[in-house]
Amino acid sequence: MATRTFHKGNYKKLCNHLTELDHGLRQIILAHGHPPMFSREPSFETMVHIILEQQVSLASAKAALVKLKEKIGEVTPEKILLLSDQELRSCYFSRQKTVYARCLATAIINGELDLQSLDKESDEEIRVQLKKIKGIGDWTVDIFLMMALNRTDCFPTGDIALINSIKHIKQLPKQTTKEEILLIAEQWKPNRTLAAYILWWDYIKKRNMKW
């Protein structure tokens, strides 16, 4: 089965299709306009950036990435492995994220993972490959699929901002489970990534956040 992706040519059309299906999503776009594509390069740097974003604010992760780039320039596996614990700590890497970044770098250098070839694989095949790396779970895979590979049908239930946004838009009780939210998201298949982007956009705009 061919993988489905979004791009500049079809992005707004896919978003608009969702607004025809869902009143809540339509109201978000009427209020804030279409969300940006949030695109990133399918690179090692992007994977490190996503690891840095795990369980912290976008601003904190961005500050760590900027600090790292100030120190080493282009972010490559080889350069990451040359840095000491103290040097990575000075770039705001936690102990765990230091381990995760090194495991990712080692897997790439050893040929266990080829990021450049992932775009040829299915979403599930990519998930299996990436989750072999210590520190990479479903949320990290989802963000890479969505932002770096532009896959159309990801819905990261491990993302707190996304879950809070859908609860607000759908007026769901706080105790609503992720399984119940996935059932709601079924109506947006095969474009759940675009629905997530719209929901994120509402979350960002209502809080005047930088992204």
- Residue extents of the structural domains in the chain: 11-38+154-206, 44-148
Tell me if domain 11-38+154-206 and domain 44-148 are identical in fold.
no
Given the candidates 1.10.260.30, 3.40.50.150, 3.40.190.10, 1.10.340.30, the CATH classification of the domain at 44-148 is 1.10.340.30
Fold of 11-38+154-206: Endonuclease Iii, domain 2 (1.10.1670)
CA 146 to each of CA 7, 40, 61, 139, 176: distance values in angstroms, whole numbers, following the listed order: 11, 9, 18, 11, 24
Residue pLDDT tens, the chain, 211 long: 467 999 999 999 999 999 999 999 999 999 999 999 999 999 999 999 999 999 999 999 999 999 999 999 999 999 999 999 999 999 999 999 999 999 999 999 999 999 999 999 999 999 999 999 999 999 999 999 999 999 999 999 999 999 999 999 999 999 999 999 999 999 999 999 999 999 999 999 999 987 7
Exposure pattern of 35-57 as b/e (b: 16+ CB <10 Å)? bebbbbebebbbbbbbbbbbeee
pLDDT, position 138: 97
pLDDT, position 9: 97
pLDDT, position 2: 61
pLDDT, position 43: 97
d(CA 68, CA 91): 5
d(CA 197, CA 179): 20
d(CA 115, CA 54): 19
pLDDT in tens, 30-57: 999 999 999 999 999 999 999 999 999 9
